[in-house]
Amino acid sequence: MSNFFSDKKILLTGGNGFVGQHVYKKLLEKGAKKENILIPRSKDYDLRKKEVCEKVTRNINIVIHLAGNVGGIGYNREYPGSLFYDNITMGVNLIEASRINNVKKFVCISTICAYPKYTPVPFKEEFLWNGYPEETNAPYGIAKKVLLVMLQAYKQQYKFNGIYLLPVNMYGPGDNFEPEKSHVIPALIRKIYEAKLKNQDHIIVWGTGKASREFLYVEDAAEGIVLATEKYNKPDPVNLGAGFEIKIKDLVKLLVKLMDFKGKIVWDKTKPDGQPRRMLDTSKAYKEFGFKAKTKFEEGLRKTIDYFVKNYEKLK
């Protein structure tokens, strides 16, 4: 094991969130010391405020910025202004505060929503600027994309070391299963489980089922983030994904099978599909810092379902 993290003071924003909890565990596995990892809770530290960002980045060597206001398609349609303002303000303030406080490395976790709506599959990093993002999540995607421009500008002017990672849709134990904010996998798991509990003979799923998605198991994502933090120092963005694509229709069929739901699937075609296709070219992450996703999709889904079923009473 390398000693890279053993003496580093790390600010992990969003460290209590879904992905953050897994990144925290991975940092400890890689030799970071518990007392050297600062996780600012949103109720105590509002990262949209400049002075708060300046305070939390003092005496910090590495910032891993995972905090964000984020949700699924419904949430994106309902709160586009908040999503834009919150995400851009947190990122801009943290990067500037990190520069002022001589933070040695800034790791910005972006989103696949930053890619243009009709990006050719597989998405290569150089396609990032070839069009406008899918409308329902454009405010969130663009707010995150601005941070890439800022990091590259700061590298050029101040020699500030900032890297920018683009993870695909993540899923796994600890995901957000709240109906209003959840993404597709947790939303479907909850829907199917509750339909079974209530003996319903069908579930209603948004869209046509024709859109495709790629999913990255959260522990693999955490591994990729921590590897990049240690080994990657270039200003160019890097995809983090699992390198496969599945249609939403096939995802629903697979979940129904794994959860043994016998009812009908009804597609609500009045609701949006979101981006038509999503799948990343993941070769750069492997080439630059040796990252390759390990978890088989079905295995990851089983672990996520088990987590939800065990914690259902708490998650209600």
| Residues with a known catalytic role | 140
Residue holding tokens 């683009």? Answer: 166
68-95 burial, b at 16+ Cβ within 10 Å, e below that, comes to bbbbbbbbbeebbeebbebbbbbbbbbb
Q: Is 150 helix (H, G, I), strand (E, B) or coil?
A: helix
SS3 state at 182: coil
Reported as half-sphere exposure (CB side, CA atoms, 13 A), residue 226 has a value of 24
**Which two structure tokens, joined as six digits, stand for 247?**
């249609």
Is 134:211 a contact under the CB 8 Å cutoff?
Answer: no
Strand pairing of 246-247 and 212-213?
antiparallel
Distance of alpha carbon 39 from the chain centroid? 17
Q: Say how many CA atoms lie within 13 Å of 14 toward its Cβ.
A: 23
Do the Cβ atoms of 175 and 184 come closer than 8 Å? no
Contact 177, 308 (CB under 8 A): yes
Pairing of strands 169-171, 246-247: unpaired
Sign of CA dihedral 219, 11, 70, 165: negative
Cβ-based burial of 255 (10 A; exposed 0-12, middle 13-18, buried ≥19): buried
